Amino acid sequence: MNAFCIRDTFYTYHQLSERVCIIRNALATIDEQYIGLVSNDDLNTYASILAIWMEGKCYVPLHPMQPLVRCLDIVEQVGIHTILDSSETTRYTHQNTIATARLKGTTGSLLSKPAAYDVNHDAYVLFTSGSTGRPKGVPITFGCLEAFIEAFVGLGIHLTTEDHCLQMFDLTFDLSLGSYLPPLLAGACVYTAGLGGLKWQEAFRLLDEYQLTMTLMVPSVVHYLRPYMDEIDAPQLRYSLFCGEALMIEDAKAWLDAVPQARVLNVYGPTENTIYCTAYEIQNDICGHNGIVSIGKDMLHTRSMIVNENLQPIDSGQEGELCLSGQQLTKGYWQNEERNKAAFFMYGNERWYLTGDLCRYADDGNIIYLGRKDSQVKIQGYRIELSEIEEVARRFYNHKIAAVAVAVGEAPNKKLVLAVEKEDDGNENQLLEFLKKFLPSYMIPAKVVYLPQFPQNANNKTDRKRIGEIVK
């Protein structure tokens, strides 16, 4: 029975179990709770996740294609000493790095029980874009993960050993867990799209060649597939989920026509509330606003509330900030009390998270997504803090020059533009190369625009909206 199909090679559950066992043996003597994991797309990396969990430990993914300085910052923040790396050669020469691909040993303890663990212990820590120029950590406990799995089952999605499920996300992105964990728990086979490349093309190829029965994709995949909708022949597709960015109603309609036999759901959730936590089942009469599909209603174990600027709940139909509470909610950002105070609050004896998403409730209780409240944007599913890009750009100019990052266009063609408050000095290429040293590829601006002076609003503040209009 196959567990994975990685780069067109199948791996059985027995092969997976063997690698888990061998990696567990290497971890057994390590008295550390947080283990770094280079997030390659191979069997040893997935086996490492399971081995770490079965030892009751927590994994912290480190992207192999992101700048080393960024990854080392994560290592430093968490205090990681041991890193599991399946790469042929490792970038981590000052840590206790275990080359998992080279590990050999017995599999006598193949069926040994997992170590005892506490539901309050962290299962993984993901780092997202941070406003200070440093990525911020979001720890998710085993209890949060269990609550998500129960909520997933509560959607009425019943996977079996016959299912073929898509996994198109990097392991540093929490939607990866929503893609590989439910299938593995059901004994299904996970088909990975790999690192880099055009994910939408690979997703289409896997759907077609391997008759996938379940997909979780970012909406931009469907947008790019629109010219090829007539070529899609996927009668075997049973469940099709979208998450990570706004799903356009017209794209949803086109996809619904292409896979009429499938249940199609638009799901939503920030990393802070474990993968996704609201769901809207898309049928012919689509609920939405400004061409964007509704994000639906609360899943099991999540409670939502829309509040005004005073953090008080508002009536249905009024616009406010979406807040989330429940068993999937993180205990807070990694060692960042200032950020925690800004993002979490108590109401009705419950702890709530301010998502930064502007929403309202429709008359039928569905949540209507209206846009972002702050400077965070989503591009192709990645959540980006614009101020992080600005901080690195200012660093290039020794903080003597102002910089504003804006997202222009509409999903899925949204792109980043960096505005610099100075005359064009011919250093655009050097600036972009500097940004690439500190930021992942999806945070690199598509272009740089030089403005002699930034426009100001009535409050004598930099007019970001006007800058966005100028640089389009």
Q: For the domain that residue 112 is a member of, what is the CATH number?
A: 3.40.50.12780
Residues 155-169, mean pLDDT to the nearest whole number: 98
Residue 191 shares a structural domain with residue 290: yes
Check residue 461 and give its pLDDT. Answer: 57
- Name residue 416's amino acid: L
Looking up residue 410, the CATH number of its domain turns out to be 3.30.300.30
Question: What does the pLDDT average to over 272-296?
Answer: 94
For residues 309, 311, 314, 319, the Cα torsion angle rounded to the nearest 10 degrees is 40
**One-letter amino acid for residue 7 of the chain:** R
Express each pLDDT in 6-18 by its tens digit. Answer: 999 999 999 999 9
* Mean pLDDT within 404-417: 88
As a whole number, mean pLDDT of residues 20-26 equals: 95
- Do 212 and 356 fall into the same domain? yes
Instruction: Say whether both 323 and 449 belong to one domain.
Output: no
Domain termination residue (choose one: 345, 367, 389): 367
pLDDT of 394 above 90:
no
Is the model's pLDDT at 426 over the cut of 80?
yes
Nearest to 63 by CA among 38, 95, 28: 38
For residue 290, pLDDT over 90 is answered with no
> Is the pLDDT at 458 greater than 50, yes or no?
no
Residues 305 and 440 in one domain: no
Kind plus residue range of the DSSP H or E element containing 263: strand 263-268
Report how far residue 173's alpha carbon sits from residue 170's, in angstroms, rounded to the nearest whole number: 6
Q: How confident is the model at residue 132 (pLDDT cuts 50, 70, 90)?
A: low
Do 255 and 167 have their domain in common? yes
- Pairing state of beta strands 9-12 and 2-6? antiparallel
Query: What per-residue confidence (pLDDT) applies to 314?
Result: 94
Which pLDDT belongs to residue 128?
87
The answer to whether the beta carbons of residues 435 and 386 sit under 8 Å apart is: no
> Which of 303, 338, 367 is the endpoint of a domain?
367
Does residue 17 sit in the same domain as residue 155?
yes
131: pLDDT confidence band, cut at 50, 70 and 90?
low
Task: Please tell me the predicted confidence (pLDDT) of residue 457.
Answer: 57
User: What pTM does this model have?
Assistant: 0.85
- Region 153-166: what's the mean pLDDT? 98
Contacts 24+ apart (CB under 8 A), 86-93: 86/38, 86/40, 86/42, 86/44, 86/45, 86/48, 87/38, 87/40, 90/38, 91/64, 92/36, 92/38, 92/62
Beta bridge partner(s), residue 167: 192
Q: Are residues 397 and 362 in the same domain?
A: no
- Residue 375 is predicted with a pLDDT of 64
Confidence of residue 460 (pLDDT cuts 50, 70, 90): very low
pLDDT at 113: 79
Total domain count, the chain: 2
Same domain, 333 and 415: no
pLDDT, position 459: 41
Question: What average pLDDT does this structure show over 252-279?
Answer: 97
The mean pLDDT of 246-251, rounded to a whole number, is: 88
Residues 77, 202 within the same domain? yes
Pair (380, 361) in one structural domain? no
Separation between Cα atoms, residue 332 and residue 55, nearest integer Å: 24
Range of the domain at 134: 2-367
φ/ψ region of 198 (left if φ > 0, alpha if ψ in -120 to 50, else beta) reads beta
Give the lowest-confidence range in 127-131, 227-231, 432-436. 127-131
Q: Can you give the C-alpha Rg of the chain in angstroms?
A: 22
Mean pLDDT (the chain) is 92
Helix 428-438 vs helix 386-396: angle between axes, to the nearest 10 degrees?
Answer: 120
Can you give the pLDDT at residue 195? 84
Which residue blocks in 244-297 are alpha helix, DSSP H?
249-258
If asked whether residues 145 and 43 sit together in one domain, one would say: yes
Both structure tokens of 247? 């799903």
Contact 279, 263 (CB under 8 A): no
Q: How far apart, in whole angstroms, are the C-alpha atoms of residue 464 and residue 459?
A: 12
Q: Examine the fold and report which residue of 367, 394, 413 is the final residue of a domain before the chain moves on.
A: 367
Q: Are 187 and 327 contained in the same domain?
A: yes
Grade residue 80 by pLDDT with cuts at 50, 70 and 90: very high
